[in-house]
Amino acid sequence: MNREEALSEFLNGMRIALSSAYAYPREHPQFLKSAQDLKLRIEGLLPFLNPVKINIGPDFLIIDKRKLEKLALYSELAQTFHLRKIKSLEFKSGLTTEEVSGFLDAIARPVKDAVSEGSAVSHFKRSLYPHISAQELDYSGFLREEGFESKDIWQDIFSGTLSQEDEKKLSVFADNFAKVIARFSAGDIVNNDRLRESLGHFLAYMKEKNKERYILCAADLLRLILRSREAIDSKGLAQVKLMFEGIDKESLAQIVVDEISGNEEFDSGNFASFLELVDEKTHKDIAVFLEKKFRESKLANTNPTAAQRIKEILTSSEDSLILPFYRHALRSIIEENPVDSSLEFEQERVDYNYQYILLNLAENVSEADKLDLLSVRLTKACETASARKDIEFLRLALEVVRRRAGESEEIKKTLSGVESVIARGNEIMIFEPSMPKGAAELADSFDNSTLGLSYYMKKIFEEGNTSPEILKCLFKFFPEQITYFCKSLKQRQADIDFIFAIVKSLEAVDSPLAINVLASIFSFSNNLVKTEVLRVLKGIPAKMRGFVLMNAVKDLLSVPSPLGIRNNILIQNLTLVEELHLHEARNLVEDLSKRPYFWNYGLRKRAAEALKNL
């Protein structure tokens, strides 16, 4: 084997070993086999490179002064290590399988765990691997760049840098604050105690050191939360509110003006959030500045859409939700500058026509440069359509994109971003309380999730969003995670309302996995829930449910009862079977009606009664 072959074997072996490490626990035979194989491949490279040192970039590797990039193998490995804050790796002669196993285990930890518990480098140092070493990456220099890593390491950066009060790095964070927090959701910030506390310390530091920068950063954070549609923990929200106390009243008024004039989705709910996030003692003065700024900008005349938005806020909110001085300020603007709704309608019609022009062009354009440009504009149009919940346009756009993608790999690659935007926009709609008509049908067109399993689990288990459409997508996109889903349900078995909601939704999900989940719920639930599960199973066609219903009935009527010590349980279960008219149980009930010995007299009698109703 020559040098190039040994290097190729090593890198492919690394990818294979990491795949096994993601899939299996450390003690699993397949994990150990992969670790042993990687050790052998490292040893095969050591005669040519000793030590084997890898320098790591965001999407490239440098080995022996050679920059390895562009191939998927190199970029995948680079991103894996880069996300875990590893700047370089070094493997030396004498390493053991145990060390390689520990290395793989550290790398395979979820990125969130690596962030909260310390980097992989810290893990190596704690584990004292003498033949594997790593250098930690300082991410602060990358905050100016567009990249994937900022969200994953932001908490770690905050904690480390704040504890050191590194003024230079904190200045970099302040300059790039809006860009970095944009990678988070409001829920991430409000509900994550560690992140929220770090942000609070950072803003308090900036407030003391540079008031002007503090106002800019705090205002960016306030805008992010105002734009959220998530369910947010009230306790966390109260603590976040403290971060905004140093923003002056005029700046707060300007934030509202900016949102009303520039944010198409800003509504009475967002305005109510603003009222909740700002100190109630300041509202009267803010309302004065708000009215003044609207008048000075002549917004109602120059921006009829914003004026219409003000009108909608006033008409769709209860009096109790908008304080009187805000209501007076907003109403006076509208009354002095009546909205010309025809202008808004005309603009909407122009936007609508433009979308379909793009779609028609996408059907016919073949030149690569024109198709590239069209892809960018069509992507933006699909983002707009997603925001408007225009399912019909998204459906037609997907048809066009897939039809064109079938023509060549080059066209498929060019238009792939458009399909991703459609998929993501549609998938987000599935989680909305008022899901647009056609969103569920459009979701059937996609085979993979754009949001990830953790998003589904958070929405279901933390926010209680258990609609049939969400469960259907969960089963379709993550069939291999159903065992994990069932374990999570078992942990919530005490929450009867939640489990009932899941069972009710499963009734409307046409999937074999739904039946598996019902069987799992039946196994750990009380009789109240079991009754509902059996009712749902009974309504599923026999061919589809297989033996699940029969097995559930057997569980109920096969409870061991030596000397009749559990006959009371069997009698309760007979009542359940009888109420649901489960004919499948007839043979088992008949057996109970013939059970011998005097201590079974009551059971025999109850079983005979149940038989009459089956």
Q: Which of these ranges, 403-412, 525-534, 539-548, 563-572, has the smallest mean pLDDT?
A: 539-548
> Helix 512-524 and helix 548-557: axis angle, to 10°?
10
Report DSSP letters for 176-202, one per residue: THHHHHTTS-HHHHHH-HHHHHHHHHH
Which residue blocks in 231-340 are alpha helix, DSSP H? 234-241, 249-262, 268-277, 283-297, 299-302, 304-316, 324-336
Q: Which residue has the higher pLDDT, 412 or 541?
A: 412
Decide if pLDDT at 354 tops 90: no
The span from the CA of 39 to the CA of 51, in Å, is: 14
CA distances 290 to 93, 153, 254, 319, 343, Å, are: 69, 38, 7, 19, 24
Read off the pLDDT of residues 363-381 as tens digits, 9 standing for 90 and up. Answer: 878 787 788 888 898 999 9
Q: Under DSSP, is residue 613 helix (H, G, I), strand (E, B) or coil?
A: coil
Q: What is the pLDDT of residue 145?
A: 47
Residue 335 pLDDT > 90 = no
* C-alpha separations of 461 from 52, 266, 495, 536 in Å: 45, 28, 11, 22
Rounded CA separation 23/546 (Å):
30
CA distance 613 to 590: 12
DSSP symbols for 490-510? HHTTT-HHHHHHHHHHHTT--
Distances (CA, A) of 55 to 36, 77, 107, 127, 547: 23, 11, 16, 22, 56
Mean pLDDT of 77-104: 88
Run of H or E including 422: helix 409-430
Which tens digit of pLDDT belongs to each residue from 33-71? 889 999 999 999 999 999 999 999 878 899 988 888 867
pLDDT of residue 582: 81
Q: What is the mean pLDDT of residues 81-90?
A: 85
d(CA 537, CA 140): 55
Burial of 163 from C-beta contacts in 10 A (0-12 / 13-18 / 19+): exposed
pLDDT of residue 130 exceeding 90, the answer is no
450: nearest Cα among 411, 483, 421: 421
Q: What is the pLDDT of residues 172-209, one digit of tens each?
A: 778 878 877 877 788 878 877 777 888 888 888 888 88
Structure tokens that stand for 612 in this block: 């009459």
DSSP string computed for 506-532: HTT--SHHHHHHHHHHHHH--HHHHHH
Q: Rounded to whole angstroms, how far apart are CA atoms 224 and 263? A: 12
Half-sphere exposure of 295 (CA within 13 A, CB side): 13
Task: For residue 541, say if its preceding peptide bond is cis, omega within 30 degrees of 0.
Answer: no
- Place 120 in a pLDDT band, splitting at 50, 70 and 90: low
Average pLDDT, the chain: 82
Interior/surface letters 208-245, b for 16+ CB within 10 angstroms, e for the rest: eebeebbbbbbbbbbbbbbebebebbeebbeebeebbe
- Kindly report the pTM of this predicted structure: 0.43
Amino acid at site 197: E
**Range with the poorest average pLDDT among 318-322, 398-402, 551-555:** 318-322
Round to whole Å and give the CA distance between 336 and 328. Answer: 12
How many CB atoms are closer than 10 A to CB 351?
Answer: 13
pLDDT (tens digit per residue) in 246-274: 899 999 989 988 888 888 888 877 888 88
Instruction: Look at residue 197 in the predicted model and tell me its pLDDT.
Output: 82
Token pair 């008949």 is found at 590
Please state, in angstroms and rounded to a whole number, the distance separating the CA atoms of residues 54 and 129: 17
Q: Is the pLDDT of residue 92 over 90?
A: yes
Give the CA angle between residues 495, 501, 506 to the nearest 5°.
125
Check residue 347 and give its pLDDT. Answer: 47
Mark 292-310 as b/e (b = at least 16 C-beta within 10 Å): ebbeeeebbeebbbbbbbb
Residues 360, 363, 367, 373, CA torsion sign: positive
Provide the greatest CA pair distance for the chain.
94
Q: Which residue has the higher pLDDT, 268 or 116?
A: 268
Sign of CA dihedral 224, 226, 228, 232: positive
Q: Nearest 5°: phi and psi at 288?
A: -65, -50
Question: Which segment of 114-128, 203-217, 374-388 scores lowest on mean pLDDT?
Answer: 114-128
Residue 115 is predicted with a pLDDT of 45
Between residues 459 and 287, which one has the greater pLDDT?
459
Looking at residue 322, what is its pLDDT? Answer: 60
Neighbours of 327 (CB within 10 A): 16
d(CA 231, CA 432): 11
SS3 content of the chain, % helix, strand, coil (to 5): 75, 5, 25
pLDDT of 148 reads 42
With a cut of 60, say whether residue 346 has pLDDT above it.
no
Find, among 287, 277, 284, 266, the residue nearest to 333 by Cα.
Answer: 287
Contacts of 326 (CB under 8 A, 6+ apart): 275, 283, 287, 290
Residue among 257, 266, 267, 343 at smallest CA distance from 301: 343
Residue 487 has pLDDT above 70, yes or no: yes
444, amino acid identity? D
Closest CA to 330 of 312, 318, 342, 304: 312
Cβ proximity of 519 and 539 under 8 Å? no
Residue 75, pLDDT score: 82
Three-state DSSP class for residue 279? coil
User: What pLDDT is stored for residue 514 in this prediction?
Assistant: 92
Mind listing the pLDDT tens digit for each residue in 292-334?
888 787 765 667 777 777 777 776 554 444 666 677 777 766 6
**pLDDT tens string 501-536:** 999 999 989 888 999 999 999 888 877 788 888 888
For the chain, give the percent of residues with pLDDT over 90. 25
CA distances from 524 to 206, 460, 480, 483, 567 (A): 52, 19, 21, 14, 20
Burial string for 584-595 (b: 16+ CB within 10 Å, else e) reads bbeebbeebbeb
384, 348 Cβ separation under 8 angstroms = no
Q: Is the dihedral of CA 330, 336, 339, 343 positive or negative?
A: negative
What does the pLDDT look like over 139-149, one tens digit per residue? 555 454 444 44
Residue 79, pLDDT > 90, answer no
Angle in degrees, 0-180, between the axes of helices 496-506 and 512-524, rounded to the nearest 10: 150
Of the chain, the end-to-end C-alpha distance in Å amounts to 75
